Structure 1
Amino acid sequence: MTFSRHAPSGATLLLALFTLAACQEPPPAAEKPRPVRTVKATPIDGGEEITQTGEVRPHVETDLGFRIDGRVTSRQVEIGASVQKGELLATLDDTNVANELRAAEADLASATAAESLAKTTLERQQILLDKQIVAQVRVDEADANWRSAKARLDAAASALANAKARLSYTRLLAPETGVITAIGANAGQVVPAGQMVVRLASSRERDAVFNVAESVINNAPPDIEVKVTLVSDPSVVLSGRVRDVSPTADPSTRTYRVRVALPDTPPLSYGAVVTGSVRYLAGRSIALPASALTAENGQPAVYVVEPRSKTLKRKPVTVSRYTASTIYVTSGLAAGDDIVTAGVSKLRPDQIVAFDGDVK
């Protein structure tokens, strides 16, 4: 048996060389610098002044109503009326209450007479006992009758006092000096006890009320001073302190109501439009676009371009205040740092970059 050996042809060798070359991957191309937009970190002094528009409101507004139910016979005031303490505001029909008062006076007169008779009887029985004309049981019986009559007299006196008080409840008086801001009942209307008839704004204390965004509330320093200026007369400038902040946001505007206590002089009319100005960040800070903010380990950070290697470094920073378009950094950066302000979500540390103006 004869074996034959066939040598590969030239075409076969050429095909094998092309197949081997196709299996080898080309070397990776060098990464091109990514263009970035930057700003220079420039510290500023004195912080930023924020101005908000609000209005003057009374610190205390009280809904005043009658302590008993009845029909309103008169209302003496209208909205905007200035009233003094003790001034008559409204009255109720007092016919039934006046009848109750007369009945209470009659009961008191009857109880007074009965108590006087019982006391005289007790004194007489005591004299007879001393002369041994009556037994002790007669004195005890007279004493019990007098004590019972005295108790009825005390009850009648209390009932008369209550009737007088109910008669006074038919007259609604101003508990303090102020201004009427709302009306809740008119003459002829039957009202239950406690229903608001008028609303009285006390003139003792005034507040400037502002609706403020959450970002301003969260970053406000404690015991901050607010400069309040009257819009109709800019020469009237007052200095107030924050009295209170509403614990919940308005469901429509998502803002918080802030009350600023105003001094008593000069008095401002209720509803007057004012502006409130506060200054944040009294020390040095760096203002950056909000688009520069990223995060590292859940904390605020920004990307800084290393000047020599043109690589990115992610630096943690301390942000004192946020607005819709700006952040204020108080630590973590140095003056002159190049801060990346756009596309930070697509960047990574140590990435080579080029300034946007250098890319052709």
Structure 2
Amino acid sequence: MRSRPPAAVRRVVFALSGLSLLVLAACSDKSAHEEAARPVLVIHPVAADHAATAFAGEVRAREESPLSFRVGGKLIERRVDVGDHVRRGQVLAVLDPGDLQAQARAAQAQLAAAEAELGRARADQARFSKLANDQLVSRSTLDAQNAAATAAQGQVNAARAELEVARNQAEYSQLRALRDGVIAARQAEAGQVVAAGQTVFSLAADGVREVAFALPEGMVSSIRAGQPVQVESWSRTGERWNGRIREISPAADPASRTFAARVTVDAPAGALELGQSARVFLPTPGNGGLSVPIAAVQRDNGRTAVFVVDMKTSTLALKPVEIGAFGEDRVPVRGGLVAGDWVVAAGGHLLRAGQKVQPVDRDNRPVTAAASAMAR
């Protein structure tokens, strides 16, 4: 027969049991605290035109002309600088005209000599013609004199053409603007010796402004001239203008392996300045009509999914979705979501399916089931 434990032992057992209950209660309180609803930012999927692929570009003039002298020489004067607005025919730079003017004077002297020789040849021609009529000289002698006069006339014509070329070259010592525009770049400075055809200035003509950007090899086959796009200036973030792709280069750049493209923009006058940075947004094709932020996309055992809040129970569900090509900050959703779903926009890596949450909007206001029903 087993004897009862002493009273002291029973008191110790009771004390340990009470302590265990206190520890369990504390753990239960801690677990309940950990399971408190966590605030999460929720959004509705939006139209997929917000999921456009963005490319960095630069504002350029439609007509950009490299300006150069038609003759070589020493640049003695530069009259404009980068950013200056110029008018058609305005003198931009001047070469030393000394040698060119000397060549023009030499051509003038050669013309005078040729004209003098022509005068002598014609006088001889007239004299020999009279003698031939009196049969005082032979017919062959007259023919030789006629040929000499014809040759002298040719020499005069050649000298006159050379003088015209020399005078033109003397005028070419002044570089003039071909049209109204802005000096976009300068490649030479006063005192420099430049060759004929060497670019001295780059002129951006007044008129239409475009955005130049580069298309990667993987996308050029799906983009075509005339396709609508949107353009946003870095200096005016959030303000977009409609545009169209005007041209795409048929050949890739040998260094970057990208294809140069140009976009015409329906922007108000003065909104785009030369050299500004801009972004070109190309709508992602085949996107299913909806998109979500990239941060909302999660990976679940190799699948793509997003956290969706059940507004009736305020719990999370991990919903598999089919997505398209990633845009700048959004991704198109081709299937798995509807416009009324409340999607967790960020922080999904800290959440789990079935977790209790408190959905809030971007203004940190609670989103309730009633408010969600009214919004629909």
Match of 1:87 in 2: 90
Question: Aligned to 1:188, which of 169, 174, 191?
Answer: 191
For residues 201-256 of structure 1, the C-alpha deviation after alignment (integer angstroms, 9 at most, x for no partner) is 2224321134566666554466311233455568986432112345547968x876
**Does the aligned pair in 1 maintain the 2:323–2:331 contact within 8 Å?**
no
Contact 1:322 1:328 in 2 (8 A): no
Shift of 1:135: 2.0
Task: Tell me if 1:105 matches 2:108.
Answer: yes
Shift, 1:269, TM fit: 2.2
- Select 1:126's aligned residue among 129, 133, 136: 129
Per the alignment, in what secondary structure is the counterpart of residue 197 of structure 1? strand
Instruction: Return the alpha-carbon distance in structure 1 between the equivalents of residues 86 and 72 of structure 2.
Output: 24
Q: Deviations over 1:155-199 (max 9, x none)?
A: 211211121121112111112221112222222222222222222
CA distance, structure 1, for counterparts of residue 239 and residue 331 of structure 2: 32
Q: Which amino acid aligns with 2:210?
A: D
| Residue 78 of structure 1, aligned match among 77, 81, 96 | 81
Distance 2:136 2:255 in 1: 88
Q: 2:172 aligns with which of 166, 169, 172?
A: 169
Query: What is the Cα deviation at residue 293 of structure 1?
Result: 12
Q: In structure 1, give the amino acid aligned to 2:274.
A: Y
Higher helix share: 2
Q: Which has the higher mean CA deviation after the structures are superposed, 217-226 or 77-86?
A: 217-226
Q: What is the alpha-carbon distance in structure 1 between the residues aligned to residue 47 and residue 238 of structure 2?
A: 27
Distance 1:156 1:250 in 2: 49
| Paired position in structure 1 for 2:273 | 269
CA 276–160 in structure 1, closer or farther in 2 if over 3 Å, else same: same
TM-score using structure 1 length: 0.62
Q: Could you tell me which residue of structure 1 aligns to residue 283 of structure 2? A: 279
Deviation at 1:280, TM superposition (A): 3.7
Q: State the distance in 2 between where 1:137 and 1:154 align.
A: 26
Q: Is contact 1:215–1:322 with CA below 8 Å preserved after alignment?
A: no
Identify unmatched segments of 5+ residues in structure 2: 1-44, 305-321, 339-352, 355-376
- Determine which of 179, 187, 201 is the counterpart of 2:204: 201
Partner deviation per Cα, 1:57-101 (whole Å, 9 max, x = no partner): 123333222222221110000110111111101111111111111
What are structure 1's unaligned runs of at least 5 residues?
1-42, 295-300, 303-318, 337-355
Among all aligned residue pairs of Structure 1 and Structure 2, give the percentage whose two residues are the same amino acid.
28
The within-5 A match list for 1:128-277 is 128-210=131-213, 217=220, 219-220=222-223, 223-230=226-233, 232=235, 238-245=241-248, 247-248=251-252, 257-262=260-265, 266-267=269-270, 268-277=272-281
Structure 2 distance, partners of 1:139, 1:264, is: 78
Say what the alpha-carbon RMSD is for the aligned residues: 4.3
Q: What CA distance in whole angstroms lies between the structure 1 residues aligned with 2:323 and 2:157?
A: 70
Contact 1:179 1:202 in 2 (8 A): yes
Q: Which moved more, 1:179-188 or 1:210-219?
A: 210-219
The equivalent residue for 1:114 is: 117
Helix, strand or coil: the match of 2:283?
strand
SS at match of 2:242: strand
Q: Pick which of 285-294 and 134-143 moved more.
A: 285-294
Q: How does 1:287-298 map to 2 (within 5 A)?
A: none
Residue 143 of structure 1: how far off its partner (Å): 0.7
The question of whether the paired residues in 2 share the 8 Å contact of 1:215 and 1:321 is answered with no
The CA deviation at 1:287 is 6.5
- Name whichever of 191-200 and 161-170 sits farther off: 191-200
SS at match of 2:199: coil
Seen in structure 2, the aligned counterparts of structure 1 residues 277 and 293 have a Cα distance that, compared at 3 Å, is farther
Which residue does 1:37 correspond to in 2? none
- Whether the aligned pair in 1 keeps the contact of 2:287 and 2:332 (CA below 8 Å) is no
Alpha-carbon separation, structure 2, partners of 1:88 and 1:218 = 45
Distance 2:299 2:216 in 1: 20
* Cα displacement string for residues 9-43 of structure 1 (whole angstroms, at most 9, x for unaligned residues): xxxxxxxxxxxxxxxxxxxxxxxxxxxxxxxxxx9
Instruction: Give the number of aligned pairs.
Output: 275
Counterpart amino acid of residue 132 in structure 2:
L
Aligned to 2:64: 61
Q: Distance in 2 between matches of 1:326 and 1:237?
A: 19
Between the aligned partners of 1:293 and 1:122, the Cα distance in structure 2 is 107
